[in-house]
Chains A and B, each alone.
Chain A
Amino acid sequence: MSLSGVLNQLLQSLLVVAAAPLLMGWVNQCRAWLANRRGPGILQPYRTLHKLFHKDAALAEGASWLFRVNPYIQLGAMVLAASLVPMLAVDLPLAPAADVIALVGVFAVARVFASLAAMDIGTAFGSLGARREMFVGALAEPALLILFFNFSLVSHSTSLTTIVQTLAHQQFVLHASLAFAAVAFVMVLLAENARIPVDNPATHLELTMIHEALILEYSARHLALIEWAVAIKLFVYFAIGIACFLPWGIAQAGDWAAVPLATGLLLGKMALAGAGLAVVETVNAKLRLFRAPEFLATAFLLAMLGLLLHFVLQV
């Protein structure tokens, strides 16, 4: 464990925690522009968080410790996830603690606790949200796992740092299986981050909402922590996508001089990805809830096809 590794780890984790609301603000601003609105500005999420932290928390009667602990667990899990994905450089001292399978496990932990907390109070919305969230997760999680298996077959490793090293710092090969994985990844990203077409982050319509139903009873600092965790989750998903599909620019181990450039590149790629997400969300309509399983089953099958293709084509 080198000093530069530790510094890099700290820098990255802090960057993610600090910049995640900015990304959220950027996506919302882009959506506003695309809808011909002026938008609140990209700093709005910070103002919202600040406001929420100042308010008194209202806790539903009958809420247990699980409900109160959950927001902190959400943030903890997402910060852990953010520490595992190579974003600026590949030498992360914490990265070997969890490979891609365990990374999927981190998201699963967060999802399970969020759903349990939603069922804690015993309202119709809470259990509705929990049911939908677990159902979407039950299909998205295996799809994510299998598309990671595609990478593992290409790079002979399930460790994200090795995957990035193989893809970014070795000779470029076009892998057909990864094209399938890329499409599947975008679909999983949309579903897991509660974006259109699976969910709509901007609505409270009971017929369609998933994530918002899950956190309906939260207020003030608890809500702020959850919103922050949601922003980090989106950032981490983008970072996973960048690490897997556009890894060029991520610094080699010990290459301290390349880190500033890598930071700039990362922010640039994030901005592009955020704009892309806004476009996807603007041009698509939300699916009926019953169609969401088909959407996710498609992602699952695409990832599987990628696996089979890998064996058929032998690359």
Chain B
Amino acid sequence: MSSSIDGINAALAATTAWLALGMLGLLRPHSVRWVGRVLFPISAALSLVLAGIGLASVLKAPQAAVLPLGLPDLLFHVRLDPLSGFFLFLLGVTATGISIFSAGYFRTGEGTPPGLMCFQYHLFLASMGAVLLADDAYLFMVAWETMALASYFLVTTHHRLPEIRQAGFLYLLIAHVGALGILLCFGVMHGTGWQFTFDAMRTAHLAPGWSSVAFGLALFGFGAKAGMVPLHVWLPEAHPAAPSPVSALMSGVMLKTAIYGLIRVTYDLLGTIRWEWGLTVLIAGSVTTLFGVLFALMQHHLKRLLAYHSIENIGIILIGLGLSLTYIGTGHPALGALGLAAALYHTLNHAVFKSLLFLGAGSIQHVTGERELGRMGGLARWLPRTAFLFLVGSLAISALPPLNGFVSEWLTFQAALLSPALESGVLRSVIPLAAAGLALAGALTAMCFVKVYGVVFLGAPRAPKETELHDVGRWEQTGMAWLAAGCVILGLAPVPMLRLLDHVARLLIGQSLGSQALRSGWLWLTPVAAERASYNPIVFLVLIVGVTLLTFVLVRRFYHGRLRRAPAWDCGFGGLDARMQDTAEGFSQPIRHMFGPVYEMERHLPSASDAKPRFHLEIRDRFWSVLYLPLAGLVEAVSRQVGRLQAGRISIYLLYSFLTTIFLLLFV
């Protein structure tokens, strides 16, 4: 067997092995030991292998194969190229951490038994692998739908609760509306003679109008899966409903398969890219980013908050893609490569830190049994390790140097600042506006995570604790530590990563980053040229830590380290209590005040004469009242009209048959 075939066979074998692991879970569905201590650790090792395969294939030429499966005249085509390799790497790295965490997480209780859950979980993983490997529309859609169904069953693990069934239904509905868009998109792109292999689509030449239609359908379909505004409504419902490792997998990886699909269709299959597409994606991305972060700030349910941040981060990825498409469409492929690299880098970063945060949220929920921020507080005292790992994730998502979130936002800014290269004045000035939106979103994210971390882990406990709490077990800690290490490594070593992404850009755009880029060694990140911009996270970290330690030593050396403990200053009134701290709602109140028109608020304020003063605030997503509820009303009205056909009398039905026969006789 030649070495060029090895990569794809290994990837297929790993995907199949996942499926087999899932089946093994069904053998002893109620045994937590079997599923947790045996199957999930194996699964984590397998994920690591898959990550290695993906990484290796980024550097290699594309490899394709045809499987002896599928329809008689359309066998399954698979292909492993740098793009799918990169996403397999993302899937593997993230799934490693999540599977290690899951080894300690699942236990028997309400809902699906662990063995069945193990099956669904691995089916979900395998279907995502298959989506990334598919090289024809048929296999892609089969894998895509399997992915949607597997995740639906995972979301409804606690199916006895009505709100979870509702969330699951909403998710399934939007997943299918989106899938319809993707299906139609493949229909538009089909090659000559209704060929549905991706190879045929690559060679088919579409008229510009049709290719824009295909792009619009792809953006709709994949946008629905990714959580692009206004198709985002399922995310804040489905993510909190699912068990935490599943939320981590959905938010960390599944949303990324939608980004993969969009990139695959736009860059690879459609061929000629138009700048109008870039502008559309850029605007959609900016709106999604700001919307996501503004609503995230208003949440007081931890996992809902994280779900809104996923929307925000998808927006940031879309901004990068929009920049890339705009540059390519106007004939600047080298700048387009930078935008694409920024988007892909953020895709990986988000997968790592968001999974970490969801796992952290799961740990908190496991230990305290609480989901509401308003009943937490001071948890760092009982969960010191979880608190530290969560802090790493919070700093990473807040785009603080030297962690990973900063690198990709920095690259996106650099791509945006190259807009003077464009000829069109409108484009040149729209792009900095997007950058301004991104800057605002970044700062608001930092505020949101100070709120989350401060309210959850710092301060005094807001709800009385009946029992002593204990930090989560070793498995959970290891899983989170793996992802936290990812945040640090991706932040400190951006240059090797960017070199890797350069291979993907070369495949898709046929152009690498500019000739001056990445010339300054692996320590110095210079995406365009050294004079233009450079960043070195290691110097950054060493200097801050060095000065911090030096100051510490000097203060001890020249002065002293004497310390005494005293109660916190209570302004002389006495009786400080935990209710005097800011609540999550209080912390974000200034933002609510300032961006008031964005929110649909229902408020009940207490007045001085109330016997029982009550404060009530509910913030709703405007898209429900403006878009979704009218749409649902319309669907209901139409169905009611159609329902009139069903009179329930046999004579009427016979009349229908009669009329149909006449119609057919007349016209066919």
- Nearest Cβ distance between residue B508 and chain A, in whole angstroms? 26
Query: Known: A60-B567, A137-B446. Is A225-B532 also a contact (CB below 8 A)?
Result: no
The answer to whether the Cβ of A216 comes within 8 Å of any Cβ in the partner chain is: yes
Residue A43 CB within 8 A of the other chain: no
How distant is the Cα of A108 from the Cα of B524 in the complex, in angstroms?
A: 22
Q: Which of A58, A66, A72, A300 lies in contact with B458, CB distance below 8 A? A: A66
Chain A residues, CB < 8 A from B580:
123-124
Is chain A's binding surface mostly helix, strand, loop or mixed?
helix
Residues of A within 8 A of B559 (CB): 53-54, 221
Cross-interface CB contact of B446 among A53, A112, A225, A300, cutoff 8 Å: A112
Q: Do B428 and A311 touch across chains, with their CB atoms under 8 A apart?
A: yes
The interface-forming segment of A154-162, A239-247, A262-270, A274-282 is: A154-162
Instruction: Report the Cα distance A297→B593, complex, angstroms.
Output: 13
The docked-state distance in angstroms from the alpha carbon of A4 to that of B454 is 45
**For A75, what are the chain B residues with a Cβ–Cβ distance below 8 Å?**
547-548, 551
The chain B residue with its CB closest to the CB of A146 is B436
| Minimum C-beta distance from B446 to chain A (A) | 6
The listed residue (A64, A97, A123) touching B539 by CB distance below 8 A is A97
Whether A134 lies near B447 (C-beta < 8 A) is: yes
A105 vs B442: C-alpha distance in the bound complex, in angstroms? 10
Closest to A216 in B: B569
A302 to B380, CA, bound (A): 42
Interfacial residues of chain A within 50-66, with CB under 8 A of chain B in the complex: 53-54, 56-62, 64, 66
Residue among A66, A102, A127, A225 making CB contact with B581, cutoff 8 Å: A127
Contact call A131/B590, Cβ cutoff below 8 A: yes
* Chain B residues, CB < 8 A from A122: 377-378, 458-460, 568, 578, 581
* With known contacts A116-B458, A127-B581, A307-B432, A142–B576 Cβ distance under 8 A: no
Q: Which of A73, A131, A297 contacts B544 (CB 8 A)?
A: A73
Q: Which residues between 579 and 601 of chain B lie within 8 Å of chain A, taking CB atoms? A: 580-582, 586-587, 589-591, 593-594
Which residues on B sit within 8 Å (CB–CB) of A72? 548-549, 551-552
Q: Are B530 and A225 within 8 A (Cβ)?
A: no
Interface string of A126-142 (1 = CB under 8 A from B): 11101110110111011
* Contact (A121, B413) CB under 8 Å given A53-B555, A109-B401, A146-B436: no
Which A residues lie within 8 Å of B533 (CB)? 99, 101, 157-159
* Known contacts A53-B555, A308-B429: A98-B535 contact under CB 8 Å: yes
Which residues of A have CB within 8 Å of B567? 60-61
Which residues of A lie under 8 Å from residue B447 when comparing CB positions?
134-135, 137-138
Are the C-beta atoms of A123 and B581 separated by less than 8 Å?
Answer: yes
Q: Mark A70-113, 1 if CB is under 8 A from B, else 0.
A: 00110111011001000000000010111101100110110110
With A64-B458, A158-B414 in contact, is A97–B540 under 8 Å at CB? yes
Q: How far is the CB of A219 from chain B (nearest CB, A)?
A: 9
> What residues on A are CB-neighbors of B555 within 8 Å?
53, 221, 225
Q: Which residues of B contact A64 (CB under 8 A)?
A: 380-381, 458
CA distance A241 to B460 in the complex (A): 41
Q: Is residue B439 contacting chain A, with contact meaning CB distance below 8 A?
A: yes
In the bound assembly, the distance between CA atoms of A127 and B398 in angstroms comes to: 19
| A149 contacts the other chain (CB 8 A) | yes
Question: Does the CB pair A105–B459 fall under 8 Å?
Answer: no
B563 and A57 contacting across the interface, CB-CB below 8 Å: yes
In this complex, the interface size class of chain B, counting residues with CB under 8 Å from chain A, is 35 or more
Q: Are B443 and A137 in contact (CB under 8 A)?
A: yes
* Chain B residues within an 8 Å CB radius of A102: 401, 406, 410, 535, 540
Fill in one digit per residue for B178-216: 1 if any A CB lies within 8 Å of its CB, else 0.
Answer: 000000000000000000000000000000000000000
B534 contacts the other chain (Cβ, under 8 Å)?
A: yes
A80–B544 contact, CB under 8 A?
A: yes
- Does A172 sit within 8 A of B, measured CB to CB? no
- B454 and A61 within 8 A (CB): no
Once bound together, how far apart are the Cα atoms of A90 and B88, in whole Å?
45
Residue with the highest number of chain A CB atoms closer than 10 Å, among B545, B562, B567, B568: B568
- B614 touches A (CB below 8 Å): no
The answer for the CA separation of A156 and B594 in the assembled complex, in Å, is 34
CB proximity of A77 to chain B, nearest CB, Å: 6
A63 and B635 alpha carbons, distance in the complex (Å): 57
CB proximity to A under 8 Å, residues B436-478: 436, 439-440, 442-444, 446-447, 449-451, 453-455, 458-460
A79–B543 contact, CB under 8 A? yes
Check A39 for interface membership: any CB of B closer than 8 A.
Answer: no
Alpha-carbon distance A69/B552, docked complex (angstroms): 9
15 A-B pairs with C-beta separation under 8 A:
A58-B563, A62-B568, A69-B548, A99-B535, A101-B410, A121-B459, A123-B569, A124-B581, A134-B450, A138-B446, A142-B440, A157-B533, A159-B533, A311-B428, A311-B432
Contacts beyond the supplied A54-B559, A119-B582, A153-B417: 19 A-B pairs with Cβ under 8 Å: A59-B565, A66-B380, A76-B543, A76-B546, A76-B547, A102-B540, A106-B540, A121-B459, A122-B460, A127-B587, A135-B591, A137-B446, A145-B439, A149-B436, A152-B417, A158-B413, A221-B555, A293-B594, A300-B436
Which A residues are within 8 Å of any B CB, using their own CB? 53-54, 56-62, 64, 66, 69, 72-73, 75-77, 79-80, 83, 94, 96-99, 101-102, 105-106, 108-109, 111-112, 115-116, 119-128, 130-132, 134-135, 137-139, 141-142, 145-146, 149, 152-153, 156-159, 162, 216-217, 221, 225, 290, 293, 297, 300, 304, 307-308, 311-312
| B interface residues (Cβ-Cβ under 8 A, vs A) | 377-378, 380-381, 395, 398-401, 406, 410, 413-414, 417, 420, 425, 428-429, 432-433, 435-436, 439-440, 442-444, 446-447, 449-451, 453-455, 458-460, 524, 530-536, 539-540, 543-549, 551-552, 555, 558-560, 562-570, 576, 578, 580-582, 586-587, 589-591, 593-594
Give me the 6 closest cross-chain CB pairs, A-B, nearest first.
A122-B459, A119-B454, A127-B582, A142-B439, A122-B460, A97-B539
